[in-house]
Amino acid sequence: MAAVAALGAVALTDALRDRATAEETRDSRAATAATTDEREASATTAEEARDGQAPAAATTDEVEPSVPRLPGGAASGLIAFTAPGACELRAIDLRSGRMLELPRLETSCELYAPRVGTRVAYSVPDDWGGARRHFSVLDLEDRASFGDFAGYLIGWSPDGSTLAWCDSLGSGFELSRGQRPKRLDQCPRAYDPSGETVSVNDRHQIVVGGRPLLRARGPVWHLAWGVDGSLAVLVEGGRLDRYEGGRLVGTASMTPPTPEHPLTIWPPELAPDNCAALSVGGDVVRLIDLGCFQGRAPRTFEGVYADWSPNGKWIAVAEPDGIVLHRVVGREASVRWDVVAGQLAWLSG
């Protein structure tokens, strides 16, 4: 699975570096434009007062692009992203409309972020090769670093406080703030809603607390719990199954990447309730219904990467010339932020 997932990362890295020079020559202040079907959104500057609240995070001294106000009570939070060129890590606070003050961190264009909290893991350049990733962990709010590590299949706990990764098929590590990494006698594939690490045995059984929960319909490539307790399981061949209470309730067929047709999102980005998924290939974002999505699907958007808002009503799409936020549940709307990004992640903050 790690080898398959790496295809998308390589394709995304190459695409970002090809776009680097165009972005570097832009004016340091990016213009912000906003368009919505209902004419609710408008550009706003970071200096506008918001209920008397101060910005939630520090800001840079550089000239910053303002971010548009999202209409209709949209999710706020943070969007972390990699910039073209050296793939530097950057982040925007959607509530204050300001860029966060972060150290200049060169990445290899890959982010691993929870939906909740302010911490992200990001891959760093190395010459190790193979499936193992050399990565670091940073708190976007207080800029505290948690150190450098190596592994694969990196996953976060539901509250965003802890992450785990594999270093072999039968072992891994778990990291909590203020503690040293703890050795695990399993390869942690995910966290369940209670925060317990989950593994998969050689019979394709998903194991929680040492007890099989269910048997997947093939070798497991990826799994994730939703905020509603549902479980999404991606199995070999690209079939994505959705379970509730151990019962299969929805399924979709996804086309896995190949060397001839790489994907920049693989495994798919799942909605918070596992009712829909996003995949990207050929600069096209595809939104796929898993049987319970409340918006319009299937549908496509132009972009090289995408992620869900923490409330599942919006998606952020990295287009070639900016980030566009689309409301996909409820009355449709779109808001553009003219800052170029590669991979991105939308956190609750």
pLDDT tens-digit map of 125-167: 875 555 678 999 999 999 999 989 999 889 999 999 999 999 9
The domain in which residue 297 lies consists of: 2-339
CATH number at 82 reads 2.130.10
Give a yes or no: residue 328 inside a domain: yes
What is the distance between the alpha carbons of residues 126 and 7, in angstroms, rounded to a whole number?
17
Q: How far apart are the C-alpha atoms of 103 and 341, rounded to whole Å?
A: 17
Q: Is the residue at 168 inside a domain?
A: yes
CB of 307 closer than 8 Å to CB of 345: yes
**Within a domain: residue 345?**
no
**Which uninterrupted H or E stretch holds 4?**
helix 2-18
Q: What H or E segment, with its residue span, contains residue 14?
A: helix 2-18
Residue 191 lies in a domain: yes
pTM reported for the whole predicted model: 0.80
What is the torsional sign of CA 44, 46, 48, 49? positive
| Spatial distance between the Cα atoms of 107 and 124, rounded to a whole number of angstroms | 4
Nearest to 163 by CA among 124, 226, 120: 120
Residue 349's pLDDT is 87
The answer to whether position 349 is within a domain reads no
Q: How many domains does the chain have?
A: 1
Query: Is residue 72 over pLDDT 50?
Result: no
Distance CA 200, CA 178 (A): 29
- Give the amino acid at 217: R
Indicate the pLDDT class of residue 122, thresholds 50, 70 and 90: very high
Rounded Cα distance between 271 and 240, Å, is 13
* 71 and 333 Cβ atoms separated by less than 8 Å: yes
- Asked if residue 348 belongs to a domain, the reply is no
